[in-house]
Structure 1
Amino acid sequence: MKFLLIASLYLVSSWGVPSGVPVVTQTPDVSVTEGETVNITCCWTVKFERMSVTWLKNQTVIKTELKYPNNSQASLQKERSGCSYLTFMNITREDSGRYTCRLSVEVPELQKYQGNGTVITVTARDNNNEDSNASADNTDLPNTRGVVLVYLLRCLPIVALISTFFCLHKLGTKARQRALAAPGNKAPAAQRTEDEDQEEEEERGERETEAK
């Protein structure tokens, strides 16, 4: 995942900003690709002892935080500058919009300031490679079908030969069964038994003739 860190300029009173004129600066507009990490900032040069920072997306509040002086010396002299950060992890196209920073100074007196806003534009990832792979798969599909069709056509003669063999065998079996079932025909086993009986009678007759 790409990491995109966008930093704002810190404008402080020592940079030549006229005394008493507060400055609120936000990150310039950003264009990123979905899935990246984006950090935008809001910095100010406002004297305060306590204030709140509110982030709005398209005029809808999404985050609010309180700010206090960072140390005891600043608390005596009043805080003069600071920053607030808004971070997007794995940004999506739904995060596109204008993000505005609004300051509300509560102490020493109630004052409100607002930045110009930062427009975040999130675009979709490049899916050209996936589309190319899908197109390649679709292109290979007709070729695969053609190979299967040729294979089936080559197998047809063999299938027809095997089917014919089984049909002829079945017809021959039925013909033999009908022939055996016809009147006057005996089963081979019964015929063998009759022949054996006849041979035994002939042998018996020969033995009786010799005995006489």
Structure 2
Amino acid sequence: MSSVTSSCIILFCMAGLNFAAQISIRGQTSLAAGDTLMLVCNGTDLQTPLSNLDWLKNDKTLSPDKRISIAVSSKLSDRTRNVSSNLSISHVTEQDAGRYTCKISNEMMEFVNVQVSGMVFTGRVPSGSDAMSLSATASLLLVFTVFFG
């Protein structure tokens, strides 16, 4: 599994003061099927009021549902605003792989690419003659490997 931090910097000059607005995304970007994707987007030193923060997957806005959770918090200091958002997707599948973008008030955006590998077995577990056949095949393979490997 790998982790990434990605960031973008935008400079503002207002009334002789310099501000460096910044957005970054942290989190695991290489997951196995069945894992939980957790990404954190942080926007710092924002100059405009926060009208919205959106998470997108492959340029389509994500909405919370039974697997997707989105939480946003904002903190206002003297002249700047900091915002943080957590995106969580439980029980990821290969269809959850793609480009995830954090977009703040149509001004700033940053993205990371998420990969999901592997398969989650959701079919029935072999029983009866199917299980015996599977067991006999595994035993035969083991014997073959020991004597001829």
Q: For the structure 1 residues 7 and 81, does the alpha-carbon distance in structure 2 shift closer, same or farther, using more than 3 Å as the test?
A: farther
Matched, 1:123 2:124: no
1:49 aligned partner: 49
Identity value in percent:
20
TM-score normalised by the chain length of structure 1: 0.43
Give the match's secondary structure for 1:90.
Answer: coil
Q: For the structure 1 residues 56 and 136, does the alpha-carbon distance in structure 2 shift closer, same or farther, using more than 3 Å as the test?
A: same
Shift of 1:29: 6.3
CA radius of gyration, larger in: 1
Shift of 1:61: 1.3
Shift of 1:125: 4.3
Aligned letter for 1:40?
A: L
What is the CA deviation profile of residues 57-89 of structure 1, one whole-angstrom value per residue up to 9, with x for unaligned ones? 11111149897855xxx37x3552121111011
Q: For the structure 1 residues 7 and 63, does the alpha-carbon distance in structure 2 shift closer, same or farther, using more than 3 Å as the test?
A: farther
2:92 aligned partner: 91
1:201 aligned partner: none
- Measure, in 2, the Cα distance between the counterparts of 1:67 and 1:126: 31
Give the match's secondary structure for 2:20.
Answer: coil
Q: For the structure 1 residues 69 and 42, does the alpha-carbon distance in structure 2 shift closer, same or farther, using more than 3 Å as the test?
A: closer
- Measure, in 2, the Cα distance between the counterparts of 1:126 and 1:89: 13
Aligned letter for 1:86?
A: L
More strand by percentage:
2
What is the CA deviation profile of residues 79-125 of structure 1, one whole-angstrom value per residue up to 9, with x for unaligned ones? 52121111011111110001011111xxxxxx61111x111111114
Aligned letter for 2:91?
A: N
More helix by percentage:
1
Count of aligned pairs between the two proteins? 116
1:112 aligned partner: 107
Could you say what the CA RMSD is over the residues aligned between the two structures, in angstroms? 4.0
- Measure, in 1, the Cα distance between the counterparts of 2:71 and 2:18: 24
Q: For the structure 1 residues 66 and 122, does the alpha-carbon distance in structure 2 shift closer, same or farther, using more than 3 Å as the test?
A: closer
Q: For the structure 1 residues 139 and 113, does the alpha-carbon distance in structure 2 shift closer, same or farther, using more than 3 Å as the test?
A: closer
What is the CA deviation profile of residues 22-71 of structure 1, one whole-angstrom value per residue up to 9, with x for unaligned ones? 1111126611111111210111111333320111111111149897855x
- Measure, in 2, the Cα distance between the counterparts of 1:69 and 1:57: 22
Give the match's secondary structure for 2:51.
Answer: strand
1:61 aligned partner: 61
2:147 aligned partner: none
TM-score normalised by the chain length of structure 2: 0.58
